[in-house]
Each structure stands twice: as C-alpha cells, then as structure tokens.
Structure 1
Amino acid sequence: MSRAQCPRCLRPQSHCLCELIPQLDSRTRVLLLQHPSEVNHALNTARLAALGLKNAELRVGETFDDLDVLLNPPGYQARLLFPGDDAQLIETPSSSEGSQPWLLVVPDGTWRKARKLLHLNPLLAQLPRVTLAPGAVSRYRLRKAPGPGALSTLEAIVQTLDILEAPHSFTPLLRPFEALIEGQIAAMGHDTFQRNHGQT
C-alpha cells in the first residue's frame, strides 16, 4: 500500500516539506518548464521553487501549445537560463538599464532532457540566453555533479535571483532542499554517507 502523499509538495505526509517552504515575492517572474521524467524525482527542486515563489509558474510537458503566450507576459522581457556560446553572464542590473523585469525561463531536467525541451520548442531556442558565472558549488552532496558549476534547478534560480534582485536574498528557498538532503543522509546512515560521499 502506498504512503499518503501531501498534495502540495508531493512528499509522503510523514516527510511533508510545506512548513519549510517560504512565500517570497520577486520582481522577476520565473517560468519553469519541467520535463515529465522529473515529476517523480526524489528532489523535484523545480516544484520547490514554484511553491516558494509567488511570481512563478510550473508547467510539465515536452511541448507547450501556449508557449507563445507563456513567453510574453505583459511588462516582462524573457530570458532563457541555459548555458551556450552566446549566453550572457548574469550581472546585477545597473540603474541605467531598462526597468522592465525579466521573465526567467528555466528548463528543468537532465542536461539531455533540457536540450530536448529546447529542440522540441523552437521558441525557447530563440530566446536570449543567460548563464551564471562558472565555479558555483552545489549543496547536493549525494550526487557527483557532471561538471563544475552544475547546480540543481532550485539552486540556479536562487543564485540568479540573488544577483538580479540584490540585496534581497532568496536563500530561504533552499531550506526544504537542504532538509531533503539531510533526510536522505539520515536514511542511508552516517557511516554509509561518509564511505560513499565523504570528502577524501
């Protein structure tokens, strides 16, 4: 028999994260486009981001029929958070820049699945790309990152918003993420964690 599930955070009721999820305002609007394979992932950090940000929306699918509408909300300029040769480094906006806030479009999935989302949705590939500075370190200690600067979707959003909306901090969004990681470490046992994931 399956365990009762929280309908909001989709975690088992015994491990519900809702008390840790903040409700943060942001000038930036965040649109998360999640590949269906990520929905049942143990962490599902895109859902945590969508729940913790009032100005965010989560859509699940491989293609999105209303993408043109989603990418053009009145008063915003869309940017795709995804690395690429033409991606601009995200920097703190200067007062001289345009006052129009960003619609930050974030594909959520493995790198292969995220690239597939861009391939299947040409409107995404046409957006101006932005990326974070290299060298960021993920807090996800249970998985070896595929390369330097590889962050979870939630971590990438937090770092981006911290830059765009400084000095406002979006670190509270990471609380449920860190609780999930601590829960996984506790479930495997400290010795097992140290043996498999401890620093050498």
Structure 2
Amino acid sequence: MRRSRCDRCLRPAGHCLCPLIPSLPNHTHLLVLQHPSEQKHALNTGRLLALGLQRAELLVTELLSDHPRWLALLQDPQWQTELLFPGPQVPVLTASSNATRPRRLVLLDGTWRKARKLLHLNPVLQSLPRASLPAGLHSRYRLRKVPQAGALSSIEAGVEALRLLEPQLPVEPLLLPFDALIEAQINAMGQDVYARNYPR
C-alpha cells in the first residue's frame, strides 16, 4: 500500500513539514522553475522555498513554451526580472536603491545538469539579466555531494538571495523545515551509514 501524503509539502503524512513552514511577507517575487525530475525527490527544497514565501510560485516544467502566461510575465518590461544563475562575469545580486519596478527573481531547481538543461531549452531564460550569489557561501545540505565548492540547495540559494535583497526580512525560519528534513533523513539511515557515505 502507498503511504498517504500531505497534499501541500508532499511528505508522508506522519512526517508532514507544514507546521514548520513559515509565511514570510517578502517583496521580491520568486519564481522557482523546477525540473520535473526534482518534483518527487525526497529532499524537494524548491517546493519548501515557494511554500514559505507569500510572494513565490513553483512551476514544474522543462519548457516555458508550454506556459504562455509565464512566457509573457517573464518578458513584461514593467517588471525587473533576473535569473539567479552563476557564470563568468555574472554580477553579484544587489538590492535596488531606486527601484521603480517590482522585482522578480527566477531560480532553477534541479541538479546542476538539469538546471543547465532548463537554461538551454528556454530562450526566454537566456535573455534575462543574470545575477549570482557572493563567493564563499557554505551549504548546510549534508545529504548531497555537491559538484563544486559553494553549491547551495534551492532553498539556501533563495534564502541568501533574500538576505541581499531584503535585509530586513527574517529569512532564517525558511530553513527550519529544511533542517528538520535533513535530520529525519539522517536518523532514518542511521548515523553509521551517514558517516560512511557523507564524511565531513
């Protein structure tokens, strides 16, 4: 028999994270563009990020051409829309001192390979101004072997972006369900197995 799941966080009903998920009043709108292969991942941090913010949406797709509404929104000149994605000469994300337009930040949720695929398949994403996070950040994601130093999970990237854009917003509560999820996974596998597979 399949275990019942929470319709909101998609966790098994007995391990629902919803009581830990905040509802933060952010001003910057976040679009979390999630690769379909990430949707049923046990550690679905893009979903947790979108659930914890009042101005955020999760879109699960490979092709934005299947979503005409979002194609139009991402090209709307009345919005300042940027893609958070690192690369050579990509400037570090900064707060706008004289913002005249509402701001939207697009995050790609998936492995590095899948995130690059999302960028490759969607010309509208390639046309957006890009921004990156500062160097030297460290992930608390103890259950994923990152491909490079400084790689963050989607929820951590969103938190760090909001720290820069909205320093008055208390973003730390966004990480409570993330930390609980990691602890539950480690407890389920056992400390010995965890230590062997994820050495510090």
Ranges in structure 1 where 5+ consecutive residues have no aligned partner? none
Residue correspondences, number: 197
User: Does structure 1 conserve the Cα–Cα contact (< 8 Å) formed by 2:31 and 2:105?
Assistant: yes
**Bigger shift: 64-73 or 10-19?**
64-73
Normalised TM-score (structure 1): 0.92
Ranges in structure 2 where 5+ consecutive residues have no aligned partner? none
User: Does structure 1 conserve the Cα–Cα contact (< 8 Å) formed by 2:28 and 2:105?
Assistant: yes
Asked if 1:169 corresponds to 2:170, the answer is yes
Q: Deviations over 1:125-177 (max 9, x none)?
A: 01000000112111111222111110000100000001100132211111111
Asked if 1:51 corresponds to 2:51, the answer is yes
Relative to structure 1, the CA distance from residue 44 to residue 73 in structure 2 (aligned partners, 3 Å threshold; closer, same or farther) is: farther
Q: Equivalent residue for 1:91?
A: 94
Q: Equivalent residue for 1:78?
A: 81
Identity of aligned residues (%): 55
Asked if 1:195 corresponds to 2:193, the answer is no
Residue type matched to 1:147 in 2?
A: Q
Aligned-partner SS, 2:113: helix
Residue type matched to 1:39 in 2?
A: Q
User: Does structure 2 conserve the Cα–Cα contact (< 8 Å) formed by 1:92 and 1:166?
Assistant: no
Q: Equivalent residue for 1:159?
A: 160
Over aligned residue pairs, what C-alpha RMSD do you find? 1.6
Normalised TM-score (structure 2): 0.92
Q: Deviations over 1:68-88 (max 9, x none)?
A: 223146853000000122421
Q: Equivalent residue for 1:29?
A: 29
**Bigger shift: 70-79 or 10-19?**
70-79
Cα deviation, residue 197, structure 1: 2.4
Residue type matched to 1:9 in 2?
A: C
Cα deviation, residue 35, structure 1: 0.6
Aligned-partner SS, 1:113: helix
**Bigger shift: 4-13 or 165-174?**
165-174
